[in-house]
């Protein structure tokens, strides 16, 4: 037994909410909408403009796993720690008005079970406005009362604009050499400085293997970074910034450029929804309108639309899209325009045409014609509502296809150039061999979101189809 198809979008929605798949689909879509709205809450809207600017991400660790990785292991991973100039204790004195000594002390509570980020380790920036050369010494004092001199050198100021920023990263040769000296001193091993990994050795318990990331054990406790400088400029000032890059970061980790994937994911949600929905709604309506026109007018118009549909269906969209994206950098909105230009007619045009052929023979259409309705009115007021349920199902069902299309173009490296879309994040992961290197979060998180989005629309379409398609209806 089949029941009559329900009338009106409200009834359809109500019935849809009665099915499990409908509820699940709606729930996922609501979740995605919340994700979309979370961008301004999570970060300032301006951040997104800096997405492709490497300078904006220097304070972030590279390839850090999501923060919640802790929950699945017994270890606590090193969080990202940023010590800004104001976080340092500063002491400076001018000696005899001839030269000046400046001390900076930063205290680091290191209570994690893992070493800092294996890629970057840490970074020290020295900012000075001194007009004379500085002699600087950087020493790390460890909880076991050992201390390592990391750097002892001069900052030459001649011919440079103030303030002068000197950046020292963990893998700099000077730091490596300083750490090497420290290891030799405390272990007595004669190792080559080139093989030293400062951020492992400096944070490890004293052991012959303290330079080996796999064997070294973390030394927990209070570290102090002591920086002192001497200069002949009595007014000189020195500030420092110290970053210990975490091995985990945020909700979704970071990528190889240190970009916070959470921001990319959040920003990608509205883009994916908007792109998928816009493409499918525009194309769905366009196909339907042409289908109605073909069916209603018949004759030459019908013939032209049908043949044009067949021709356009033969033209392969994907290769042409690849070609266009290869020649011009297209963003997602241009992509929609290209899709519309390539596919103004589609399979559903023919289906809707055949539905209209049937509907237009019904007596109420003759009645409408008889009481003076114009062609336009009959097509849009009388015929359109009849094909609307079918069209809505088609639109909902085709959303995942367009989301996948955008992702596939991105993976081929031809996607959106500026905004972080999910496909673009995946593409970056692919280009950085993330899967090979075990950076699972970079791939899994956007991939899962793409899949659940497709899944949500699929479920919605499935439940809608059950409601509006009389053959699938059961009592």
Partner 1 sequence: MGTLLDVRDLFLYYATRKGPVKAADDISFQIGEGEAVALVGESGCGKTSVGISLLRTLPRNVHTYKGEVILDGEDIMKLDDEEFRRRIRWKKISMVFQGAMNALNPVLTVGFQVAEPLVIHEGMDKKKALKIATEYLMDVGLREMFVERYPHELSGGMKQRCVIAMSLIMNPKLVILDEPTSALDLMTQANIMNLLKRLKRDRKLSYLFITHDLPLASELADKVIVMYAGKMVEKGTAEQIYLDPKHPYTQKLIASVPILRGEKELEYIPGEVPSLIDPPQGCRFHPRCPYAKDICRKEEPPSIEIEKEHSVACWLYAE
Q: In the complex, which residues of this chain contact partner 1 (CB under 8 A)?
A: 4, 7-8, 298-299, 362-374, 377, 381-382, 385-386, 388
Q: Which is nearer to partner 1, 79 or 382 (CB)?
A: 382
Q: State which residue, 259 or 360, has the beta carbon closest to partner 1.
A: 360
Q: Of 257, 277, 258, which is closest to residue 406 (Cα–Cα)? A: 277
Give the residue among 225, 197, 55, 227 at the shortest CA–CA distance from 126: 227
In whole angstroms, give the CA distance from residue 293 to residue 70.
Answer: 60
Q: Which helix (H) or strand (E) holds 104?
A: strand 99-110
The minimum distance between CB 379 and partner 1, in angstroms, equals: 13
Supply φ then ψ for residue 221, to 5 degrees.
135, -160
Sign of CA dihedral 421, 426, 427, 431: positive
Q: Can you tell me the distance from the alpha carbon of 77 to that of 68, in angstroms, rounded to the nearest whole number?
A: 10
Instruction: Report the distance separating Cα 359 and Cα 36, nearest Å.
Output: 41
> Which CB sits closer to partner 1, 108 or 387?
387
Closest to partner 1 by CB, 43 or 373: 373
Q: How far is CA 300 from CA 171, 358, 365, in A?
A: 74, 18, 21
Residue 213 or 298 having the CB closest to partner 1: 298
User: What is the H or E stretch that residue 447 is in?
Assistant: helix 440-468
As a three-state string, the secondary structure of 358-373 is: HHCCCHHHHHHHHCCC
The distance of closest approach from Cβ of residue 294 to partner 1 in the complex, given in angstroms and rounded to an integer, is 14
State which residue, 157 or 305, has the beta carbon closest to partner 1. Answer: 305
- Least distance (Å) from partner 1 to the CB of residue 263? 45
CA dist list (Å): 2 to 9, 60, 163, 466, 469: 19, 60, 80, 11, 10
Between residues 11 and 53, which has the closer beta carbon with respect to partner 1? 11
Smallest distance, partner 1 to C-beta of residue 369, A: 5
Least distance to partner 1 from the beta carbon of 285, Å? 18
Return the axis-axis angle of helices 332-342 and 261-297, rounded to nearest 10°: 20
Rounded to a whole number of angstroms, the minimum distance from the CB of residue 5 to partner 1 is 9
Helix (H, G, I), strand (E, B) or coil at 146: coil
Residue 412 Cβ vs partner 1, minimum distance, rounded to whole Å? 44
């Amino acid at each position: 037994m089949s029941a009559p198809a329900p009338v009106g979008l409200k009834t359809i929605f109500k019935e849809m909410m009665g099915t499990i798949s409908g509820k699940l689909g709606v729930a996922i879509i609501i979740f995605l909408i919340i994700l979309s709205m979370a961008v301004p809450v999570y970060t300032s809207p301006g951040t997104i403009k800096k997405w492709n600017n490497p300078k904006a991400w220097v304070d972030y660790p590279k390839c850090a796993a999501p923060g919640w990785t802790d929950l699945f292991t017994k270890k606590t991973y090193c969080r990202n720690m940023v010590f800004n100039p104001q976080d340092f204790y500063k002491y400076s004195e001018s000696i005899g008005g001839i030269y000046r000594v400046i001390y900076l002390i930063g205290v680091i509570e290191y209570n994690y079970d893992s070493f800092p980020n294996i890629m970057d380790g840490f970074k020290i920036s020295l900012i000075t406005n001194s007009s004379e050369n500085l002699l600087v010494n950087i020493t790390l004092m460890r909880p076991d009362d050992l201390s390592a001199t990391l750097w002892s050198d001069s900052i030459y100021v001649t011919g440079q604009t103030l303030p002068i920023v000197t950046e020292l990263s963990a893998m700099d040769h000077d730091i490596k050499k300083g750490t090497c000296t420290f290891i030799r001193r405390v272990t007595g091993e004669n190792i080559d400085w080139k093989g030293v990994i400062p951020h492992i050795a400096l944070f490890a318990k004293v052991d012959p293997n303290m330079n080996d990331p796999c064997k070294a054990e973390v030394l927990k406790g209070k570290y102090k970074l002591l920086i002192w400088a001497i200069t002949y400029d009595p007014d000189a000032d020195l500030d420092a910034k110290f970053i210990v890059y975490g091995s985990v970061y945020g909700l979704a980790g970071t990528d190889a450029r240190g970009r916070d994937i959470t921001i990319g994911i959040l920003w990608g949600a509205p883009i994916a929804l908007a792109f998928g929905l816009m493409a499918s709604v525009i194309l769905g309506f366009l196909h339907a309108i042409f289908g109605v026109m073909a069916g209603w007018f018949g004759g030459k118009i019908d013939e032209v639309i049908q043949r044009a549909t067949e021709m356009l269906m033969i033209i392969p969209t994907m290769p042409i899209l690849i070609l266009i994206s290869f020649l011009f950098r297209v963003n997602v909105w241009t992509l929609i325009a290209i899709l519309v230009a390539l596919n103004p007619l589609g399979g559903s045009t023919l289906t809707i045409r055949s539905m209209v052929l049937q509907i237009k023979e019904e007596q109420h259409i003759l009645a409408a014609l008889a009481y003076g309705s114009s062609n336009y009115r009959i097509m849009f007021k009388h015929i359109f509502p009849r094909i609307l349920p079918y069209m809505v199902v088609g639109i909902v069902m085709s959303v995942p296809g367009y989301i996948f299309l955008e992702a596939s173009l991105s993976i081929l490296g031809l996607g959106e150039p500026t905004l972080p879309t999910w496909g673009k994040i995946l593409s970056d992961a692919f280009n950085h061999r993330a899967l090979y290197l075990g950076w699972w979060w970079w791939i899994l998180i956007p991939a899962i979101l793409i899949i659940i989005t497709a899944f949500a629309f699929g479920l919605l379409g499935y439940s809608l189809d059950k409601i509006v398609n009389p053959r699938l209806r059961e009592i």
